A and B are shown apart, each in its own frame.
Chain A
Amino acid sequence: RKEVEQDPGPFNVPEGATVAFNCTYSNSASQSFFWYRQDCRKEPKLLMSVYSSGNEDGRFTAQLNRASQYISLLIRDSKLSDSATYLCVVRNTGGFKTIFGAGTRLFVKA
């Protein structure tokens, strides 16, 4: 089993749709969680950190369920510019080990 697993993609959605990405992690000692976005042939960019209380940034909402070892990212009112690969990132205590999920590709179409 992979340490970080994400929904297989790609997701094809129309503009304005709401889309949710899921991610599970296997190490219960993991401490920090993030969502990154990677455009084709570009470096990953930090989208948002994920906190136990859940956090929201505009159209993006991230949630963490430690008991189920599950992280989610919700995108509301999808835009064409949201098309990218979304990476779930889990880091263990002390930040010494970072695990990236394989990523979920999102295509938003007009």
Chain B
Amino acid sequence: GAVVSQHPSWVICKSGTSVKIECRSLDFQATTMFWYRQFPKQSLMLMATSNEGSKATYEQGVEKDKFLINHASLTLSTLTVTSAHPEDSSFYICSAQTAGYEQYFGPGTRLTVT
């Protein structure tokens, strides 16, 4: 299957700081990438859809000014959590979509805000 990387795999930051997470499709081009959040023992929650060269589409209830998404190339999307707070602590997972609409997920980033 296709390979998607995510960096960093885990991060601890202080409240009020910003954290950037990178998502890369390593062996295919992805015009569309997705960002999810998952709390313990809960299902994936789609945060936003990232399209290369255009603005991201955010799901209802997700603050676009807090979760900044940039999809600058066909292989890279970034999510920046601005002014992070403890309630933002979660498992953030990206996925990249192939031309056949299959989604391949990155390994996730575990964010802890202290």
Contacts and interface: CB of A to CB of B under 8 A. Distances in A.
Contacts of A44: 44, 93, 105
B102 A34 contact: yes
Interface residues of A, number: 20
B108 A43 contact: yes
A42 interface: yes
B107 A98 contact: no
A41 B91 contact: yes
A36 to B, nearest CB: 8
Contacts of B101: 32, 91, 95
A103 B107 CA distance: 18
Contacts of A103: 43
A46 B102 contact: yes
B32 A95 contact: yes
Nearest to A41: B91
Contacts of B43: 87, 100-103
Interface in B46-71: 46, 49
B29 interface: no
A103 B105 CA distance: 16
Contacts of B102: 34, 46, 49
Interface of A: 32, 34, 41-46, 49, 87, 89, 91, 95-98, 100-103
